[in-house]
Amino acid sequence: MKPRHGLLAGLARHFVEELADSLEAEQLAARAGFLQALDPRAKLLAIILLIVGASTARLLLPLAGLFVLAVVLSLLSQIPLASLVRRVWLVVALFTGLIALPALVLVPGEVIVTLPWCGLGVSRQGLRSAAFLIGRGETCVTLVSLLVMTTPWQQVLKAMRSLGVPVVVVAMLGMTQRYIFLLVQLALQMFEARRSRVIIAPDAAATRRMALAMLGVLLGKSLQLASEVHQAMLARGYRGEVCLLDEFQMCWCDWLVLLLALAVCVVMVLLK
Amino acid sequence: MTNDLIFDLQEVSCAHQGALVLGPLSLQIRAGSRVAILGANGSGKTTLLRLLDALHYPHSGVASAFGQRIDEANFADDEVNFAFRRRVGLVFQNPDVQLFNPTVFDELAFGPLQLGWPRERILTAVEESLARLRITHLRQRAPHRLSGGEKKRVALASVLIMEPEVLLLDEPTAALDPESQGEILRFLAEGQGSGRTIVTTTHDLHLVEGIAEHVIVLGAGKLVAQGTPAEILGNEALLRATHLIHSHWHRHADGEVHEHDHLHAHSHAHVASSITLATPYRPLQRSRP
């Protein structure tokens, strides 16, 4: 029989599964694909330039073109589209869709359709605003996902350091990746421990009180755990710098990709 | 101070959130010695070990390692820190906090990379360490998906690969099944005569003779006694006062119940009502129907 979980426990469990998947996604980074072959510094810079381009796009068609480019890149890099649909496109569409929804009726302009059950009119300008928001969100998150899926996390951090990101920021990001799995596991164990000791199902108010109390305890434990993980890193000589077995090497195709990304970014900024 | 002195603690104490958790205590550890730090839970063993690894600094008193003072100001210097980490390795009690890389290979390579070893040396050292700890088959596995015993062996390998002169082990056999315990103990026994200084914390009396020739006993954060394993294990009053002896009850297959103390390292097999002892024990109260 499938065990029953509370909302928070269910979310935490789902998060652990996703996180485990994402750790295994490092296998994607080992595939022989287009993005995988690029120097991480060039890849990081190129993705940043494309994101700047997507964020500043003022026409829908070029924005759609950039999204298609991201899809082509994922195919060339052997990233399964099903994985992008499940992890990126549906999630972004849901969240940005929720945010964009009010714009459909709140942005004044030419009404193109009137909603039958409430009488509110959807304006052309509102629809355009919503399309921009969703389009930019989908394109930017897809590009970031491509970077993360095709580059081992340590290489992303090292590339950030090479581009001048302060050591403290990179150390924090590195710590977060190492520590978050432990924290989620700890949260799950707490949920399971609570479930095993609850004999009579508490009412909603008591459940909320318990959940809040557990969050407080989890915060305390997480601080202790973070300190322990950091001490374990220090004990093995960690000083904030990212050290890799292989040094980065730029080749002509890395420079070419960078130039193309720069060109796309400039075109997106200039197109009106 | 003689040249072979590695750690020298003089009236050292450690505090946590204003409360004294260790000391004041004084002790010395010499190069090549194998030392066991014995103590019940909460006696300050882990704090002492972290102090020796310069992860905690003394609240008062003077602690030094290799002639260098262990304090925040000194270890803020990168060179001092680097030199110390190259020479001293700590295996944490909880391997989960020590294993934070995506694969076992990355885990083992982490320390040497921090020490700036060349690529070829790292690759060779990783393969050798995997083979030495018999974990070659775990090379590409994610550490968080391993069993407790496997995690412990990976944690040990991740420190040993750095070839430290001093190995600090925080309860290396805690929460392990007998087979995994045996693996760790086998490894420690193999390390005898290597010239490496090994400091191990434990509250398990039956480990002491196998892992140390000098024993330090802690009780409530204070150094209560030190001596050879024979001297310490033979001192019943000391072990009782530091809560290192435990009494327990048995109910045998024939219904007999008895209680006894574990005063010495011993093992016994329960076969019906007979008890086979490797070393004698002293029953407190015998045979209740």
Question: Residue B94 belongs to a domain with what CATH number?
Answer: 3.40.50.300
Is there a single domain that holds both residue A270 and residue A198?
no
pTM score: 0.73
Residue of A139, A129, A57 whose CA lies nearest to A99: A129
Residues B132 and B266 in one domain: no
- Interface with A, mutate which of B70, B96, B105, B159 (most A CBs under 10 A): B96
Per the CB < 8 A criterion, the answer to whether A71 and A91 are in contact is no
Model confidence at B130: pLDDT above 50: yes
Minimum-distance CB partner of B114 among A152, A229, A237 = A237
B53, B97, B113: residue with CB nearest A228: B97
In terms of domains, do B211 and B95 share one?
A: yes
- ipTM value, please give it: 0.74
Chosen from A245, A247, A248 to mutate, greatest number of chain B CBs within 10 A: A245
> Could you tell me which chain B residue has the CA closest to the CA of A177?
B100
Residue B203's SS3 state is: coil
> Mapping DSSP to helix (H, G, I), strand (E, B) and coil, where does residue B27 land?
strand
From the centroid of its chain, how far is CA B146? 21
Amino acid identity for residue A147 in this structure: L
Q: Which of A193-207, B12-26, B127-141 has the lowest mean pLDDT?
A: A193-207
Task: Say how many CA atoms lie within 13 Å of A40 toward its Cβ.
Answer: 21
CB within 8 Å: A235 and B89: yes
Q: What is the mean pLDDT of residues B24-36?
A: 92
Residue percentage of chain B with pLDDT more than 90: 35
CA gap B271, B256 in Å, rounded = 12
CB burial string A230-243: b at 16+ within 10 A, e below: bbbbbbbbbeeebb
Q: Which residue of B has its CA nearest to A228?
A: B97
Q: Give the mutation candidate from B114, B127, B160, B166 for the A interface (greatest A CB count, under 10 A).
A: B114
What's the pLDDT score for residue B154? 92
Distance CA B259, CA B247 (A): 7
CA of A235 to nearest chain B CA: how many angstroms apart? 7
Residues A210 and A129 in one domain: no
Q: Are residues B181 and B134 in the same domain?
A: yes
Q: B158 with B268, same domain?
A: no
- Domain holding B178, by residue range, is 5-241
Helix H or strand E encompassing B211: helix B205-211
User: Is it the case that residue A12 has pLDDT exceeding 90?
Assistant: no
The answer, for B151 touching chain A at a CB cutoff of 8 Å, is no
Instruction: Answer for the pair B53, B91: CB distance below 8 angstroms, yes or no.
Output: no
Instruction: Kindly state the tokens that stand for B14.
Output: 């450690």
Q: Which of A33, A79, A66, A31 is nearest to A260 (CA)?
A: A66
The average confidence (pLDDT) of chain B is: 82
| Domain co-membership, B236 together with B113 | yes
Q: Quote the CA–CA distance of A62 and A53 in Å, as a whole number.
A: 10
Alpha carbon distance, N-terminus to C-terminus of chain B: 61
> What average pLDDT does the segment B98-115 reach?
87
Q: Which two tokens stand for residue A271?
A: 């197109």
A229, A235, A246: residue with CB nearest B90: A235
For residue B250, what pLDDT is reported?
63
Highest mean pLDDT among A206-215, A222-231, B210-219: B210-219
Phi, psi at A91, each rounded to 5°:
-65, -45
Q: What is the dihedral of CA A19, A21, A22, A24, to 10 degrees?
A: 130
Structural domain count, chain A: 2
* B98 at A interface, C-beta within 8 A: yes
> Is B71 exposed, middle or buried, given 0-12, 13-18 or 19+ CB atoms closer than 10 A?
middle
- Whether the per-residue pLDDT at B10 is higher than 80: the answer is yes
Domain shared by A45 and A131, yes or no: yes
Q: What is the pLDDT of residue B269?
A: 46
Confidence at B287, pLDDT banded by 50, 70, 90: very low
The verdict on A143 and A259 lying in the same domain is: yes
- A265 and A133 co-located in one domain: yes
Do A209 and A260 belong to one domain? no
In chain A, pLDDT over 90 holds for what percent of residues?
A: 24
**Distance between CA atoms of A22 and A177, rounded to whole angstroms?**
11
Mean pLDDT of A36-65: 92
Residue B91 pLDDT class (50, 70, 90 cuts): very high
| H or E stretch at A134 | helix A124-150
Report the residue from B78, B85, B123 with minimal CB separation from A236. B85
Q: Are residues A85 and A139 in the same domain?
A: yes
Of A16-25, A29-38, A54-63, A84-93, the one with minimum mean pLDDT is A16-25
Strands B19-30, B257-261: pairing kind? unpaired
Cβ-Cβ contacts under 8 Å, B157 against chain A: none
Total domain count for chain B? 2
Clarify whether residues B55 and B194 are in a common domain. Answer: yes
Q: Does B141 touch chain A (CB under 8 A)?
A: no
Weakest mean pLDDT among A17-31, A35-49, A95-109: A17-31
pLDDT tens-digit profile of B189-202? 776 667 889 999 98
The residue ranking higher by pLDDT, B3 or B217, is B217
The arithmetic mean of pLDDT across residues B37-63, rounded, is 91
Does A211 share its domain with A251? no
> Domain check: are B144 and B266 in the same one?
no
Residue of B nearest to A186 (CA): B96
| Residue B181 to residue A133: CA distance in whole angstroms | 58
B50 touches chain A (CB under 8 A): yes
Using CA atoms, how far apart are residues B239 and B268, in angstroms rounded to an integer? 20
Regarding whether B179 and B217 lie in a shared domain, the answer is yes
The residue out of B202, B225, B241 marking a domain boundary is B241
Identify the domain containing residue A53 by its residue range: 32-151+246-272
Query: What's the whole-number mean pLDDT along residues A69-92?
Result: 89
Asked if residue A256 and residue A139 are part of one domain, the reply reads: yes
